[in-house]
């Protein structure tokens, strides 16, 4: 255990926030899907990795910049998400109970397919600015992380505008608040669910594209990622978007801090312990509401 | 329909005799191995079912207890020379204690949040096992001496037989406990929690205590199985034994067979384990078997969410009802009805 200097501490905080931004993007879609559909999408991690592989492919085949590849991966995975919701998830009989297992089945099916196509080699996308670092008032900011954070921020702002300023956004928020009441005032709840799932998967695609240049990945890394983003949305409060953003930043900062104070290997466990302690005090998560299930 | 007239004890007795005789009749190493693994899957699914089936709380964290049992038994064997066949029964109680504490925290959450928290458990234990290198030997894993008793190693030809019988004993114990719980007031309380937790509490069931107890009991048999497993393979490592896939397999088997039923998980294991083995054998080496496994899980969840056993009994009920429907007069003798159905 080492106590870091102030400079190192601030540097760590900055890195934590940068990573947290990307986590926030990954978790936002998941919590949104849960809010609207009460479906917990365990396949989110697999879609993340799928997004990462798409970016990897585009980069190695055409040299397309990973940040630009968002333009392709996001609409592509939006379409996949829409189809999955429309033709698969709507068939589940009691989503509250079964959705976890159905989406888990999707996750391992995807993992198996991706493992077959891309093998188990760990991949990473390394554009020519991959090892560049910007120095700002003696603090070092890796360009990929900065770019990842910026891109995450842009997508999150877009998401915020969609939710707050468009009719679709109003319909989504209405459905989150009360599904039946939304239906009564004329919201096409089924359509909203399909679109939300599409948007959720699209944010996963964006997160995956950013992940591909910061971390190395293969098909089975989806389990690491899903456990991380799921923990984020439980900590934040299932279905709460602000909660997920807050929890993502908490995770990002805590991971980085643990890495310098103890060791890198222990950093995930500190977050899980924090999650457990929070649940003792607040079972509904940081910003979640108490929902009585099976009403 | 004559099949159904066989009393339950005859089914159970017949099955038990078949399992007792199995390693004597079947000398093939491959089949003996598969049978041990199948019975282990039945133990895991039945044990999971005590929590997941009766209370309806889907835990994906039971792999944590499986792995913890495995590690404790392996460590006790290597450090103090405790024989796994004996130590696993009481080291399982230690794991149960851990499960009671974790359950006390995790069971404050409901539905999907509970699932997520239990997933986190598996990762916590994996990370601990990976990082406590001085004790667990980290990612390199733990190796135990070749199985034997009193200083004599079992030769490869007979090695699987002791494991067959200890796993059979564990399976019997698990099913027996599951059965006793189902008939008890405690079990009734668990089912009440599944149906409506709020109302269950309103009629005086202390839901948290009930759930935590069910969690602990269902962790016990999983941990004992983990202990036997670690000795069976004589090698464990964190990635392999603390695997979310182990949890999901338990859930899949229980759901396939019939969640919340006594025999469903056992039936599911005897279908799923050989099938899984066949998949790995056919597509082994590639990751396609994972995709096929996922597709099967998807199919079961979408088309048979009740599981085989409830679907089957529904189907049988419908069959008998349609035979009875439209008939006037008094109900025909049950025996007569059954024999005529068997002929057609």
ipTM score of the complex?
Answer: 0.72
Distance separating alpha carbons of residues A171 and A177, to the nearest angstrom:
10
Mean pLDDT along residues B259-270: 91
Q: Does A90 touch chain B (CB under 8 A)?
A: no
Give the model's pLDDT for residue B335: 39
Which of chain B's residues have a Cβ under 8 Å away from the Cβ of A97? 56, 58
pTM: predicted TM-score of the whole model, two decimal places: 0.80
Chains A and B form CB pairs within 8 A to the count of: 139
Of the spans B109-118, B188-197, B236-245, which averages the highest pLDDT?
B188-197
Give the model's pLDDT for residue B5: 67
In the predicted structure, residue B209 carries a pLDDT above the cut 90? yes
Specify whether the CB–CB gap between A115 and B287 falls below 8 A: yes
In the predicted structure, residue B325 carries a pLDDT above the cut 50? no
Residues 23-82 of B with CB under 8 A from A: 56, 58, 60
Specify whether the CB–CB gap between A13 and A4 falls below 8 A: no
**How far out from the chain centre does Cα A271 lie?**
16
User: Of all residues in chain A, what percent carry a pLDDT higher than 70?
Assistant: 95
In the predicted structure, residue B307 carries a pLDDT above the cut 50? yes
Q: What is the pLDDT of residues B134-143, one digit of tens each?
A: 888 888 888 8
**How far out from the chain centre does Cα B267 lie?**
10
**CB spacing of A109 vs B295 below 8 angstroms:** yes
**CB spacing of A106 vs B248 below 8 angstroms:** no
Give the model's pLDDT for residue A1: 59
Give the model's pLDDT for residue A230: 85
Mean pLDDT of chain B, nearest integer: 85
- Hey, how many other C-beta atoms are within 10 angstroms of the C-beta on B55? 27
Domains and CATH numbers, chain B: 28-148+157-323 (1.10.3470)
In the predicted structure, residue B324 carries a pLDDT above the cut 80? no
Of the spans A64-73, A129-138, B72-81, B153-162, which averages the highest pLDDT?
B72-81
Give the model's pLDDT for residue B32: 92
Mean pLDDT along residues B103-125: 85
Which pLDDT band, with edges at 50, 70 and 90, does B110 fall under?
A: confident
Structure tokens at A109: 């099916």
Distance separating alpha carbons of residues B25 and B214, to the nearest angstrom:
38
C-alpha distances in angstroms, B267 versus A52, A143, B263, B298, B308?
A: 40, 56, 6, 19, 9
Beta-carbon contacts of B44 under 8 Å, excluding residues fewer than 6 positions away, are: B62, B66, B221, B222, B225, B246, B249, B250, B253, B269
From the list B58, B124, B294, the residue facing A269 with the nearest CB is: B124
Mean pLDDT along residues B5-18: 84
Q: What is the pLDDT of residues B17-26, one digit of tens each?
A: 999 989 888 8
In the predicted structure, residue B3 carries a pLDDT above the cut 60? no
Specify whether the CB–CB gap between A16 and A257 falls below 8 A: yes
Q: Does B253 touch chain A (CB under 8 A)?
A: no
Give the model's pLDDT for residue B172: 95
Of A51, A44, A29, nearest to A211 (Cα)? A51
- DSSP H or E run through B183: helix B160-183
Of A197, A228, A206, nearest to A157 (Cα)? A206
Which pLDDT band, with edges at 50, 70 and 90, does B338 fall under?
A: very low
Mean pLDDT of chain A, nearest integer: 84
In the predicted structure, residue B342 carries a pLDDT above the cut 50? no
Mean pLDDT along residues A226-233: 86
Give the model's pLDDT for residue B298: 83
Distance separating alpha carbons of residues B68 and B64, to the nearest angstrom:
6
Answer with the residue of higher pLDDT: B320 or B126: B126
Instruction: Looking at the complex, report in whole angstroms how far the Cα of residue A272 sits from the nearest Cα belonging to chain B.
Output: 7
Which of chain B's residues have a Cβ under 8 Å away from the Cβ of A227? 119-120, 123, 244
In the predicted structure, residue B295 carries a pLDDT above the cut 80? yes
**CB spacing of B298 vs A98 below 8 angstroms:** no
Answer with the residue of higher pLDDT: B218 or B291: B218
Q: What is the pLDDT of residues A241-284, one digit of tens each?
A: 888 899 999 888 888 888 888 776 777 777 788 887 787 777 77
A35, A218, A269: best to mutate for the B interface, most B CBs within 10 A: A269
Reduced DSSP (H G I as helix, E B as strand, rest coil) percent helix, strand, coil of chain B, to 5? 75, 0, 20
Specify whether the CB–CB gap between A253 and A11 falls below 8 A: no
Instruction: Looking at the complex, report in whole angstroms how far the Cα of residue B121 sits from the nearest Cα belonging to chain A.
Output: 8
**CB spacing of A115 vs B113 below 8 angstroms:** no
- Beta pairing partners, B153: B148
Give the model's pLDDT for residue A49: 94
Give the model's pLDDT for residue B288: 78
In the predicted structure, residue B218 carries a pLDDT above the cut 90? yes
Mean pLDDT along residues A58-82: 90
């Amino acid at each position: 255990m080492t106590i870091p200097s102030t400079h190192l501490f601030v540097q760590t905080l900055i890195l934590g926030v940068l990573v947290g931004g990307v986590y926030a993007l990954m978790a936002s879609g998941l919590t949104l899907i849960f809010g609207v559909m009460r479906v917990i999408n365990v396949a989110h991690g697999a879609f993340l990795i799928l997004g990462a592989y798409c970016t990897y492919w585009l980069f190695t085949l055409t040299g397309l910049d990973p940040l630009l590849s968002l333009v392709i991966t996001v609409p592509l995975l939006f379409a996949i998400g829409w189809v999955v919701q429309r033709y698969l998830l709507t068939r589940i009989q009691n989503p509250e109970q079964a959705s976890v297992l159905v989406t888990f089945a999707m996750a391992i099916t995807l993992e198996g397919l991706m493992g077959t196509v891309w093998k188990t080699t760990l991949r990473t996308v390394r554009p020519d600015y991959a090892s560049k670092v910007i120095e700002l008032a003696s603090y070092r900011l890796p360009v990929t992380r900065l770019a990842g954070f910026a891109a995450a921020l842009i997508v999150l702002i877009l998401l915020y505008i969609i939710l707050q300023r468009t009719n679709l956004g109003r319909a989504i928020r209405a459905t989150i608040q009360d599904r039946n009441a939304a239906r009564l005032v004329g919201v096409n709840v089924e359509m909203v669910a399909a679109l939300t799932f599409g948007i959720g998967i699209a944010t996963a695609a964006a997160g995956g594209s950013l992940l591909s240049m910061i971390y190395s990945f293969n098909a089975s890394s989806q389990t690491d990622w899903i456990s991380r983003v799921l923990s984020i949305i439980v900590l934040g409060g299932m279905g709460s978007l602000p909660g997920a953003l807050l929890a993502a930043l908490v995770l990002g900062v805590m991971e980085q801090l643990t890495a310098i104070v103890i060791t890198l290997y222990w950093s995930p466990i500190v977050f899980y312990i924090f999650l457990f302690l929070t649940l003792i005090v607040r079972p509904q998560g940081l910003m979640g509401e108490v929902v009585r299930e099976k009403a | 329909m004559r099949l159904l007239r066989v009393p339950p004890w005859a089914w159970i007795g017949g099955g038990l005799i078949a399992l007792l005789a199995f390693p004597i009749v079947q000398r093939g190493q491959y089949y003996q191995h598969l049978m041990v693994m199948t019975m282990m899957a039945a133990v895991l699914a039945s044990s999971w079912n005590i929590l997941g089936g009766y209370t309806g709380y889907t835990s994906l964290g039971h792999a944590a207890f499986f792995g913890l049992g495995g590690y404790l038994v392996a460590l006790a064997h290597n450090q103090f020379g405790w024989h796994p066949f004996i130590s696993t029964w009481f080291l399982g109680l230690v794991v149960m204690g851990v499960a009671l504490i974790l359950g006390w925290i995790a069971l404050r959450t409901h539905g999907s949040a509970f699932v997520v928290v239990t997933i986190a458990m598996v990762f916590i234990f994996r990370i601990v096992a990976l990082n406590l290198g001085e004790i667990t030997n980290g990612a390199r894993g733990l190796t135990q001496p070749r199985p034997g008793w009193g200083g004599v190693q079992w030769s490869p030809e007979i090695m699987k037989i002791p494991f067959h019988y200890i796993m059979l004993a564990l399976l019997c114990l698990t099913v027996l406990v599951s059965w006793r719980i189902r008939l008890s007031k405690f079990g009734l309380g668990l089912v009440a929690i599944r149906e409506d937790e709020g109302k269950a509490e309103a009629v005086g069931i202390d839901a948290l205590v009930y759930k935590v107890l069910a969690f602990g009991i269902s962790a016990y048999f999983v941990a004992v199985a983990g202990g036997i497993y670690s000795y069976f393979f004589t090698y464990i490592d964190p990635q392999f034994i603390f695997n979310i896939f182990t949890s999901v397999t338990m859930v899949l088997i229980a759901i396939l067979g019939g969640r919340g039923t006594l025999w469903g998980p056992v039936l599911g294991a005897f279908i799923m384990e050989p099938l899984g083995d066949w998949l790995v054998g056919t597509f082994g080496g590639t990751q396609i078997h994972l995709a096929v496994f996922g597709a099967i899980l998807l199919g079961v969840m979408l088309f048979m969410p009740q599981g085989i056993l409830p679907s089957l009994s529904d189907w049988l009920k419908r069959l008998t009802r349609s035979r009875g429907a439209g008939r006037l007069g008094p109900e025909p003798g049950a025996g007569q009805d059954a024999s005529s159905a068997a002929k057609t």
